[in-house]
Structure 1
Amino acid sequence: MAAENFPNTTPQKLVRTTSARRSFHIYTSLQREIVLGMLAPRSTLLELELANRFEVSQGTVREALLLLQEEGLVHRQPHRGTTVADCRAEDAEELIRLRHDIECRGVKRAIARQGNALADRMRTHLSAMQEAADAGDEYLLSVHDRAFHSELFACADLPPVQPVLARALVHAHRYKILHPAQNRDLKDTANRHLAIIDALDAGDADQAAAALSRHITTIVDFGPNILAEDL
């Protein structure tokens, strides 16, 4: 999949050299396979096999695996190789709580900085999500979904927090895809963002935070008490 399909959702690396472009292509291909479950949780990835598959050097494969490691999608251990990260409910719950706090506070700051101008920017991502849904491409839908939330938070101007949110986003989407609810409709998934855009249109920070809260806490079926913690 082309690099331009990953706006604001991937590590901020400059893809200039031939080797970098190749490693980025491998990274995006493997990310897709991990998120969709084509590479199963806890499965082993061998650099030599991947190098043969993509017809590149093991060094180029290693660069791609390091990008995946930054996202927490693989675990690399010296002399023990690389394994695909697990996809557990307890991890997803904690990341959703973290994501909730980051995004709901961030949107208020974003609106204070940019007002209702945010709505038009988010509509671009919504249109891309709807097109992916119409094409039945769940992974591409997740890419544009992540871009929606990443760009919205970027407008809060909190760059040290951005990588934390990026990791939470990719793992939440992976868990949702690998543990699907019955009869999930991709178009409905895209259109769940309309309530957020309506709040942004109104320039209402509290409404936007509430819409994001509902959106995030209903991503997967953990029940109504996802934010409750037993202290």
Structure 2
Amino acid sequence: MNLDNIWCWIIPLLVGAICALLGYLLGKGNSKTEVIDNTEELNSWKSKNGKLQADLDAANAKLNATANTPVVDHSATLKALETENAKLKTDLDLCQGKLKSAASTNVVSSLAAGAVTGLVFNAADAKAAYGKKIKQDDLKIVEGIGPKIEGLFHNFGIKTWKELSETTVEKCQEVLNSGGERYRIHNPGSWPLQAKMAYEGKWIELVKWQDEHIGGKL
């Protein structure tokens, strides 16, 4: 076999081997699996799942605690609400009474000069403010005046709110002194002021004033 014939065989074999090797390498590269790193996403879902589980456990615990809680006495809360409701109703009634009586306040008597006038007593307004019926010119509406002291004022001819509102504190003290040591110790300093509010029908102001001044003391 001559040298030329040998190369005729070797060269095709080498070319075939090289092609085979290239084909193998290309095929291996195409079949390579791509790896994706989703660690961050997985951690996020794990965190959300843990929170949901914690929320669920807390809800179940609260449900069990509620189911095992004994009956609670709400009487004190209900009484407070009833008191507040009654006060609101009183205020509402008073406002409605004000609307109805706005035009009813008028002059009932006057002197020739027209300087002195009398006011109409509105029993509805007074009752709305105090929650009870109020008698006109009842001096006992004044904080500090009781039945006995009222009687002393009547003895001095002071029988109405208007008359008491125009009486000086010194005169009030004189009236008290007439009843002896037992009545002399009372402080009449606010009585003309309270009587004036009653005479003028300022019931809300009077009630508020009396609530803020224990015993009618200034």
TM, length-normalised to structure 2: 0.23
TM, length-normalised to structure 1: 0.22
Q: Which has the higher contact order (CA 8 A, sep 6+)?
A: 1
Larger Rg: 2
Structure with greater strand percent: 1
